[in-house]
Structure 1
């Protein structure tokens, strides 16, 4: 299991710490955990839903995100995970394209399990269809972890690294996990 401390885009905001952990499970399973430390209780948590529905615009509230890139390819996937236990997966042909809102839904990634925990969020995904359709091995892919945190102190944007002048989770340079 690999873990990463996610950094706030606003470097002055140190009140919340966030760690993401990535674990490959078998031939096409992916487990990701987000551990959040919020001693001042600044976080604004969305209301819980039931049965892990797919919902768009989750990033408008607190939302944890996984980006899946493919070595040498422009296409990628974005998975949005809400502490409400709703989720969605999107497909892009290249950087933020197609430019439709909400983005095009990706049905080649399945949710096995999504649970808000006392420490943050835990998710298990099945990448089998995505990997089979594109003939991918784990070594062909790389991941980025990020989060939009709604807080009483304003919105905070966390990622593995921020190399753009604005918070930009679609910037593949900031997707640091290799299998």
Structure 2
């Protein structure tokens, strides 16, 4: 298991996030997010049943996973809401196509998503994605990020920030490989 202390785009002492990722079996990704919110400022969406796919989750508190294929421009974005909703998008290259919402990715399956007392855990099956692209887990690199909405402002956390603005789509900031 690899863990990362996510860094805030604009430093804050009020929040911190540690993310962990592992692949216990080929094609399975397990994620955990541990959130420290001592002032209890986070705005949480109401829970929903059945883990529906919903767009625009990034407009509220949301955890995100970006999966890129080595030596290819295309990538996917997975949004995981503490509400229990989720979504996955496909991009051909950096933020393209520019449609809103972006094109859906149907090659990812949500196995489990739980909001916990400390944050969120999720299990994602990417076997269809791997099979479709004829690749293995070793061919992937991932970025982990979070949008945290508080009573004061919205915070952007990622493995690192190398752009002048918070930009989770910047592959330079995707630091994990299996």
Classify the TM-score, shorter chain: over 0.9
Q: TM-score, normalised by structure 2?
A: 0.99
Alignment of 1:44-55 (within 5 A): 44-55=43-54
- 2-side partners of 1:145 and 1:165: how far apart? 18
Q: Which runs of 4+ in 1 moved over 3 A?
A: none
Per the alignment, residue 36 of structure 2 pairs with: 37
- 1-side partners of 2:10 and 2:65: how far apart? 20
Alignment of 1:10-21 (within 5 A): 10-11=10-11, 13-21=12-20
Per the alignment, residue 5 of structure 2 pairs with: 5
Deviation at 1:138, TM superposition (A): 1.1
- 1-side partners of 2:24 and 2:90: how far apart? 22
Q: Give the paired residue count.
A: 178
Deviation at 1:119, TM superposition (A): 0.6
- 2-side partners of 1:63 and 1:10: how far apart? 17
RMSD of aligned residue pairs (Cα, Å): 0.6
Per the alignment, residue 92 of structure 1 pairs with: 91
Q: Which runs of no fewer than 5 residues in structure 2 stay unpaired?
A: none
**Residue 72 in 1 paired to residue 71 in 2?**
yes
Per the alignment, residue 114 of structure 1 pairs with: 113
Q: Deviations over 1:97-139 (max 9, x none)?
A: 0110000000000000001001100000000000001011111
Q: TM-score, normalised by structure 1?
A: 0.98
Q: Which runs of no fewer than 5 residues in structure 1 stay unpaired?
A: none
